[in-house]
Amino acid sequence: MKYVLLFVGTMEEQRRFDTQSSEDMERSLQGPMKWFERYSQEGKVVGGEQLKSSDTVTTVQSKDGKRIVTDGPYIESKEVIGGFAVVQVADLDEALDMAKAWPGGPVEVWPAVER
């Protein structure tokens, strides 16, 4: 089964991450990099990316039949998605075990539609 794990943080955490020194950033990325390395070597991570901060987001949506482009994320929230991993695992329990092993903040586990 395929799942998408969304790595969630607060806007404040994102600001702290974006403004830290390169040495601190390297240290703060060690845990996530080890997580990705471990599960990639096991063949469970099949895709994923770190995302830039929410102030770089552009949203395209429809309003009255017209496509509108706006700066910023579509949903107003105090939380941001910092990245995601696409994982191929046996079942939800295995996806949840991977999410529990994530060294950062909350993780949303979304089942993917497989065709």
CATH of the domain at 70: 3.30.70.1060
Task: Give me the number of domains the chain comprises.
Answer: 1
Residues 68, 104: Cα–Cα separation, whole Å? 34
- The per-residue pLDDT for range 4-61, each reduced to its tens digit, is 999 999 888 888 988 999 999 999 999 999 999 999 999 999 999 999 888 888 889 8
Determine the structural domain holding residue 92 and report its residue range: 2-111
Q: What share of the chain is helix, strand, coil (3-state, %, to 5)?
A: 35, 35, 25
- pLDDT digit string, tens, across residues 67-98: 999 887 766 777 889 999 999 999 999 999 99
> Structure pTM?
0.86
